């Protein structure tokens, strides 16, 4: 798929090496600054801690993919990767230090300064390097000329995306396509020019006119792509195929490798590997803190439920969890009945089945507090698509395309749909469709920062009591 890229690879390897050297220098400086708070620390300690930190950080960085090209990637993605790399480096170093019985040689102030200052300094230097490189590219340095093979909607969209990000340092030479005009997309004048057919593209590529060639032919044009790649193999341009996956509803697409055979996911769980571990850790930590904070109010609520109406304190309902597996979701009982069969009627405004205490609990969402047990048990998360009754899942999965994809992640006590106003009764199909759209968006764009924002927004939603009954 790709061709020989001697000059480009050489320059990129130098840039990545520079990043490694800069990170190593930053680590040495932060260690030197931190150990000043330990009076007994000397040069041997400085060298030992610096070497161990650099080695561990670089090993973890290889696993996290930190030292790769961030060209065209949003800054927050790079920041997240740096913080993630350091978050795994620190426990390893502290664990080794504990085993070697050297942690006690350093004061708490030194260790805390080292833990907090190092990632801040690495991020500051990386942001400075990124901004400097972007400024150089805007001024014409480190630019690359690229051509687009395929005068179609995808090719025009690619050109638009590059135009909106001049800091990428990519300069469009033009489009190439040998199809008749009626089979190609009309090219806006401000985007670029149609410079010729595929033979002209190959001729110019052999002459070294392009650094990068993007092929945007549809996937069904396999034979044309194969023939073109055979000819471009005689050039030094980097060649990329931009698949027209936009025709599908992608849900956290990612590349994988099956014993040397590349594959791309269309529907996938974003919480695999490190991301899954981070989210589970956050659920355990914050779920435990929340449970400790609301333990006494929960005891009071349990007493009110028990003595205000006949029936159990808790209501456990069968719902779908991760990958569609059935789970039992805990709630405080708020109704005189406990529907959990093949037909479950949603609660409506002024529903006579809701008890007087239940009305208060539902308006304030306090009936959801027992789901913290689900979170700690691992069947739910603090944030995720709200679990629906199993009967409702069977009803809507046949009415809404992609409905079951919401189960690619664990259900949550709160979610993106709820903070966007799509909570409560879904008496129309459009309301449920909006909720599912939010669930899909959450899965595509998940991050710990998104979870944090949703949790804070949930507090505001609960206080305003929108659509809660």
Q: Which of 193, 228, 247 is the last residue of a domain?
A: 247
- Domain match, 425 and 327 both: yes
The answer to whether residue 235 is domain-embedded is yes
- Residue 310's CB is within 10 A of a number of other CB atoms, namely 7
Neighbouring C-beta atoms of residue 7, cutoff 10 Å: 11
Nearby residues of 188 by Cβ (< 8 Å), 6 or more positions away: 156
394: CB partners within 8 A, 6+ apart: 342
Average pLDDT, stretch 366-370? Answer: 89
In a domain, 15, yes or no: yes
Residues 114 and 128 in one domain: yes
User: 187 CB contacts (<8 Å, ≥6 apart)?
Assistant: 151, 156, 175, 193, 194
The Cα 340–Cα 167 span in angstroms is 56
Contacts of 1 (CB under 8 A, 6+ apart): 229, 239, 240, 241
Q: Is residue 268 part of a domain?
A: no
Residues 65 and 155 in one domain: no
In a domain, 269, yes or no: no
The count of domains in the chain is 3
- Cβ neighbours of residue 10 closer than 8 Å, sequence gap 6 or more: none
Looking at 233-339, list the stretches that DSSP marks H as alpha helix, in order from N- to C-terminal side. Answer: 274-308
- H or E stretch at 261: strand 261-264
Same domain, 92 and 157: no
Q: Which residue has the tokens 């992609």?
A: 402
Residue 409, pLDDT above cutoff 60: yes
Q: What is the CATH number of the domain that holds 160?
A: 3.40.50.720
Question: Pick from 138, 160, 178: which residue ends a domain?
Answer: 138
Q: Are residues 376 and 444 in the same domain?
A: yes
Closest listed residue to residue 396, CA positions, set 338, 339, 436, 349: 436
Question: What does the block give as tokens for 396?
Answer: 């809507």
The answer to whether the pTM exceeds 0.75 is no
Whether residues 39 and 158 fall in one domain:
no
List pLDDT tens digits, range 164-191. Answer: 877 777 889 999 998 888 888 888 878 8
Indicate if 86 and 173 belong to the same structural domain.
Answer: no
Q: Token digits for 286?
A: 């914050």
Same domain for 344 and 460, yes or no, is: yes
- Determine, yes or no, domain membership for 265: no
Which domain-ending residue is among 104, 138, 172? 138
Residues 280 and 403 in one domain: yes
Of 188-192, 242-246, 303-307, 415-419, the one with minimum mean pLDDT is 242-246
* Within a domain: 258: no
Residues 317 and 220 in one domain: no
Least confident of 50-64, 194-208, 337-351, 440-454: 337-351
Range of the domain at 71: 6-138
Task: Give the phi and the psi of residue 326 in degrees, each rounded to 5.
Answer: -75, 135
User: Which run of H or of E encompasses 46?
Assistant: helix 43-64
- Please tell me whether residues 229 and 355 are part of one structural domain: no
Domain shared by 161 and 198, yes or no: yes
CA separation for the pair 18, 29 (Å, rounded) = 16
Strands 381-383 and 412-414, how do they pair?
A: parallel
């Amino acid at each position: 798929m790709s061709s020989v890229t001697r000059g480009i690879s050489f320059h990129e390897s130098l840039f990545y090496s520079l990043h490694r050297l800069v990170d190593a220098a930053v680590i040495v400086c932060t260690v030197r600054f931190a150990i000043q708070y330990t009076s007994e620390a000397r040069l041997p300690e400085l060298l030992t801690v610096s070497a161990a930190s650099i080695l561990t950080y670089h090993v973890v960085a290889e696993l996290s993919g930190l030292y790769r090209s961030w060209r065209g990637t949003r800054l927050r993605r790079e920041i997240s990767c740096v913080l993630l790399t350091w978050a795994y480096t620190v426990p390893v170093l502290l664990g080794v230090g504990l085993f070697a019985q050297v942690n006690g040689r350093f004061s708490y102030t030194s260790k805390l300064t080292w833990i907090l200052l190092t990632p801040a300094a690495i991020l500051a230097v990386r942001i400075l390097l990124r901004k400097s490189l972007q400024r150089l590219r805007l001024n014409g340095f480190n630019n690359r000329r690229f051509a687009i093979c395929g005068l179609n909607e995808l090719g025009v969209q690619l050109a638009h995306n590059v135009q909106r990000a001049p800091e990428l340092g990519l300069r469009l030479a033009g489009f190439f396509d040998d199809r008749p005009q009626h089979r190609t997309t009309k090219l806006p004048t401000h985007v670029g020019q149609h410079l010729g057919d595929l033979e002209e593209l190959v001729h110019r590529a052999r002459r070294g006119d392009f650094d990068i060639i993007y092929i945007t032919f549809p996937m069904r044009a396999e034979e044309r792509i194969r023939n073109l790649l055979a000819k471009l193999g005689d050039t030094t341009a980097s060649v990329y195929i931009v698949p027209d996956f936009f025709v599908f509803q992608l849900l956290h697409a990612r590349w994988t490798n099956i014993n040397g055979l590349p594959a791309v996911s269309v529907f996938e769980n974003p919480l695999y590997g490190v991301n899954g571990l981070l989210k589970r850790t956050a659920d355990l930590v914050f779920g435990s803190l929340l449970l400790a904070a609301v333990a006494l109010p929960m005891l009071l609520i349990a007493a009110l439920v028990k003595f205000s109406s006949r029936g159990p304190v808790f209501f456990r309902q069968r719902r779908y969890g991760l990958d569609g597996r059935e789970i039992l979701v805990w709630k405080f009982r708020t109704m005189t009945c406990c529907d959990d069969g093949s037909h479950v009627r949603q609660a409506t405004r002024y529903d006579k089945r809701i008890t007087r205490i239940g009305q208060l609990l539902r308006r304030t969402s306090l009936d959801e507090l027992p789901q913290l047990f689900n979170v700690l048990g691992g069947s739910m998360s603090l944030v995720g698509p709200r679990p629906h009754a199993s009967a409702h899942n069977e009803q809507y999965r046949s009415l809404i395309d992609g409905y079951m994809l919401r189960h690619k992640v664990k259900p949550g006590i709160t979610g993106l749909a709820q903070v966007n106003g799509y909570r409560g009764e879904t008496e129309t199909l459009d309301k449920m469709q909006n909720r599912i759209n939010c669930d899909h968006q959450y899965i595509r764009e998940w991050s710990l920062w998104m979870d944090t924002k949703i949790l804070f927004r949930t507090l505001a939603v609960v206080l305003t009591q929108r659509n809660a009954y």
